[in-house]
Amino acid sequence: MEPQTPPARAWTRVVWLSLLGTAGCVGLSLGLNYLLLFIDGLTPFGRSVVTATLLPIVIGLPLFAMLGWRQVEIRRFRQELTRTGTYDRLTGCLNGAVFTSMVDRRAARPAGPRSGAFLVIHPEHLASINLRFGLGWGDEALRLIASAIRSSVRKDDLIGRLGNSMFGVFLPGATKQDAKEIGERIRQAVGQIYFAPKGDKDVLAIRAGGVVFEHELAFEDMFRSAEELLLEAQDEADLALSHVSN
């Protein structure tokens, strides 16, 4: 894709700003030199020293301060764009596309077979919360559940939002026992959330399914296997896990 050329109107503003700024600097220099002519105690060399010192301060200091502030704003804007393109705005988890890509890369390292586990977590009763209290409280429930998941996983684990009401958790190098323990921590953390929309205390719960693998496994295969088990896990207190061995 070719870079877009700034419109003629933008170039016109740049030209006018450059001309007016240059004219202002010239006028300031001439005015300063004119005023210095009335100071009898200054030699020509003294006047040139004063001019050479004051002009960079008067012109350069605000100019470079403005340029520096612009750089800070541009850097902040770029970081915001990067974050927006990487993370889900509501939950703060990785968005679906980035999560899928990162899981695929981590699950297929060139160095050799990659083991791990993949969990799919589905919040329960979300539709009921939306109907009873409104969509805003449904979003709040998702935010709270995402926070509980983040607090329950390990440092290098990945969390992504899949669709509107589902989370994926990739556990690199995890065994079946690790996956069970992490799944249980998530379930308990969600169960301990204080959630009281409109003053009425409600209970948040999740249903989870997962797959443990010892060799390279594509994201689609992980997700399909975990989602199948998620549908089988009718008990909210249970984590359904399967083992894939290639």
Buried b (16+ CB within 10 A) or exposed e, 18-34: eeeeeeeeeeeeeeeee
* Edge-to-edge strand ranges of the sheet holding 167-172: 158-161, 167-172, 116-123, 206-213, 239-244
What is the residue extent of each domain of the chain? Answer: 8-86, 96-244
| Helix (H), strand (E) at residue 207 | strand 206-213
Question: Which of residues 114 and 214 earns the better pLDDT score?
Answer: 214
For the stretch 120-135, pLDDT in tens is 999 988 889 999 899 9
Instruction: Please compute the mean of the pLDDT values over residues 165-182 and round it to a whole number.
Output: 92
CA distances from 53 to 37, 56, 68 (A): 16, 6, 21
> pLDDT category, 71, cuts 50, 70, 90?
confident
The pair of structure tokens assigned to 140 is: 């709040």
**pLDDT (0 to 100) of residue 170:** 94
pTM: 0.66
CA R_g for the chain: 31
Question: Which of residues 58 and 1 earns the better pLDDT score?
Answer: 58
Burial of 193 (0-12, 13-18, 19+ CB in 10 A): middle
Instruction: Please compute the mean of the pLDDT values over residues 210-239 and round it to a whole number.
Output: 77
- Cβ–Cβ < 8 Å for 94, 82: no
| Helix (H), strand (E) at residue 97 | helix 96-106
- Cβ–Cβ < 8 Å for 210, 238: no
> pLDDT category, 245, cuts 50, 70, 90?
low
> pLDDT category, 81, cuts 50, 70, 90?
low
For the stretch 83-116, pLDDT in tens is 667 889 899 999 988 999 888 887 655 554 468 8
For the stretch 3-52, pLDDT in tens is 455 577 777 887 888 888 888 888 887 887 777 777 777 777 777 777 77
Instruction: Please compute the mean of the pLDDT values over residues 69-96 and round it to a whole number.
Output: 77
Task: Compute the distance between CA of residue 193 and CA of residue 186 in angstroms, rounded to an integer.
Answer: 11
The answer to whether the Cα torsion of 92, 98, 102, 103 is positive or negative is positive
- Cβ–Cβ < 8 Å for 185, 208: no
Check whether 165 has a pLDDT greater than 70: yes
> pLDDT category, 149, cuts 50, 70, 90?
very high
**pLDDT (0 to 100) of residue 55:** 75
Check whether 74 has a pLDDT greater than 80: no
Domain 96-244, what fold? Alpha-Beta Plaits (3.30.70)
**pLDDT (0 to 100) of residue 234:** 59
Share of the chain above pLDDT 90, in %: 29
Query: What backbone phi and psi angles, to 5 degrees, belong to 207?
Result: -125, 140
Give the DSSP letter string of 219-239.
HHHHHHHHHHHHHH--STT-E
